[in-house]
């Protein structure tokens, strides 16, 4: 017969403390019959009699006294551990490990983190910036963010935003070099490149062409593995860049950048928040996820509407910039 040892031992200890199986049953929220059955199973499992019992009295045997003396401290320690874990799960305090790509931390995650820290000052965020796709279990992640496609590996993922890929340039660049009228014209311009975090190779630019997403390998005049450095290069007029909408949107709205090839803005990628389990989330992780959803999900601040793109775009000049040695 299968036996739940922990439950049976807890029932035995409670009966010994209260001197009654009926009272032990009431204290545990089970029936007297269930309490009696647990005791019978434990005695059969141990091969000894733990109580002398009649219909009116309950007394420990010598073996019962010895077993109680050895089991009681360990059971109390285990019960304290269980209660501590439950308190830790519900407390708005303690460490909170967050993983996010560099490309979206400052623009998207930081406002959430800033507001969360003000609301819950006893929580201790541990923020890891990483553009690679790591192992959420090995990395001990409480809450993760990922841009691109939804994460795999048994995690719960929620899509927060559609990410745009916007080609843009500074007005100073356009004044010096003109601007592309077609995707193919990019081959004659100074373009930025972003190196893949895993391979180190420049990533192709992606465009919407009709109903399809088409990848183009664009020669990079300025290449980096840091999104902020790429944005600074584009802002400085050193290159045309294809920037994620969360970075591009505020710069386009402020007039610091001009969107180009707006009919080809790709919107097939997403920003996701992910975590390990809905049921076992600590309260601090659950509160942080709820705040992220409240502040980020479908927030128009992070995307450029078609009307905004059309208003900010400049009519391209129908010329190809002069080249020197194959470069503009």
- Whether residue 55 is predicted with pLDDT greater than 80 in this model: the reply is no
CA-CA distance, 22 to 71, in Å (whole number)? 21
C-alpha to C-alpha distances, 52 to 32, 64, 84, 200, nearest whole angstrom: 17, 9, 35, 75
For residue 149, which phi and psi values (nearest 5 degrees)?
A: -110, 160
Per-residue pLDDT band for 153 (boundaries 50, 70, 90) equals low
Residues contacting 107, CB < 8 A, separation 6+: 246, 247, 250, 302
How would you class 223 by CB atoms within 10 Å of its CB: exposed for 0-12, middle for 13-18, buried for 19 or more?
middle
Per-residue pLDDT band for 130 (boundaries 50, 70, 90) equals confident
Per-residue pLDDT band for 59 (boundaries 50, 70, 90) equals confident
User: Would you state the pLDDT for residue 214?
Assistant: 96
- Whether residue 14 is predicted with pLDDT greater than 70 in this model: the reply is yes
Most trustworthy range by pLDDT among 47-51, 67-71, 112-116, 278-282 = 112-116
All structural domains of the chain with their residue ranges: 5-90, 95-160+270-299, 162-269+303-312
> CATH topology for 95-160+270-299?
D-Maltodextrin-Binding Protein; domain 2 (3.40.190)
User: Would you state the pLDDT for residue 326?
Assistant: 35
- Asked whether this chain's domains 5-90 and 95-160+270-299 adopt the same fold, the reply is no
> CATH topology for 162-269+303-312?
D-Maltodextrin-Binding Protein; domain 2 (3.40.190)
Average pLDDT, the chain: 86
User: Would you state the pLDDT for residue 321?
Assistant: 45
CA-CA distance, 25 to 9, in Å (whole number)? 13
Whether 16 and 68 have beta carbons less than 8 Å apart is answered as: yes
User: Would you state the pLDDT for residue 318?
Assistant: 44
- Whether residue 89 is predicted with pLDDT greater than 70 in this model: the reply is no
Top CATH class, 5-90: mainly alpha
Cα torsion for 218, 220, 225, 228, to the nearest 10°?
-100
Q: 116-120, 124-128, 132-136: which range is least confident on average?
A: 132-136
The mean per-residue pLDDT over the stretch 217-236 comes to: 92
Q: What's the pTM value of the predicted model, to 2 decimals?
A: 0.68
Q: 149-153, 234-238, 259-263: which range is least confident on average?
A: 149-153
Question: Alpha helices, DSSP H only, in 165-244?
Answer: 171-177, 227-235
Per-residue pLDDT band for 132 (boundaries 50, 70, 90) equals low
- Whether residue 327 is predicted with pLDDT greater than 60 in this model: the reply is no
- Whether residue 152 is predicted with pLDDT greater than 80 in this model: the reply is no
- Whether residue 75 is predicted with pLDDT greater than 60 in this model: the reply is yes
Per-residue pLDDT band for 117 (boundaries 50, 70, 90) equals very high
Tell me the three state secondary structure of residue 222.
Answer: strand
């Amino acid at each position: 017969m299968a036996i739940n040892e922990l439950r049976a031992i807890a029932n035995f200890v409670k009966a010994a403390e209260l001197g009654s199986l009926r009272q032990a049953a009431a204290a545990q929220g089970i029936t007297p019959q269930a309490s009696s059955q647990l005791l019978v199973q434990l005695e059969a499992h141990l091969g000894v009699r733990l109580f002398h019992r009649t219909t009116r009295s309950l007394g420990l045997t010598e073996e019962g006294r010895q077993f109680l003396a050895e089991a009681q401290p360990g059971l109390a320690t285990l019960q304290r551990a269980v209660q501590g874990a439950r308190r830790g799960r519900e407390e708005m305090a303690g460490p909170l490990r967050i993983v996010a790509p560099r490309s979206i931390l400052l623009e998207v995650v930081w406002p959430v983190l800033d507001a969360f820290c003000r609301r819950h000052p006893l929580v201790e965020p541990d923020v890891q910036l990483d553009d690679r796709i790591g192992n959420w279990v090995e990395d001990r992640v409480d809450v993760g963010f990922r841009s691109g496609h939804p994460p795999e590996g048994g995690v719960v993922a929620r899509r927060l935003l559609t990410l745009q890929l916007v080609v843009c340039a500074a007005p100073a660049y356009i004044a010096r070099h003109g601007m592309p009228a077609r995707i193919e014209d990019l081959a004659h311009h100074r373009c930025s490149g972003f190196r893949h975090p895993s391979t180190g190779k420049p990533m192709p630019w992606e465009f919407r062409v009709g109903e399809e997403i088409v990848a183009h390998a664009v020669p990079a005049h300025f290449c980096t593995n840091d999104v902020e450095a790429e944005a600074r290069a584009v802002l400085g007029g050193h290159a045309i860049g294809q920037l994620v909408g969360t970075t591009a949107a505020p710069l386009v709205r402020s007039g610091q950048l001009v969107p180009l090839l707006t009919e080809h803005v790709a919107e097939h990628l997403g920003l996701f928040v992910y975590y390990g389990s809905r049921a076992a989330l600590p309260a601090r992780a659950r509160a942080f996820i709820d705040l992220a959803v409240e502040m980020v999900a479908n927030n128009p601040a992070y995307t450029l509407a078609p009307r905004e793109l059309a208003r900010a775009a400049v009519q391209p000049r129908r010329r190809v910039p002069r080249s020197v040695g194959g470069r503009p």
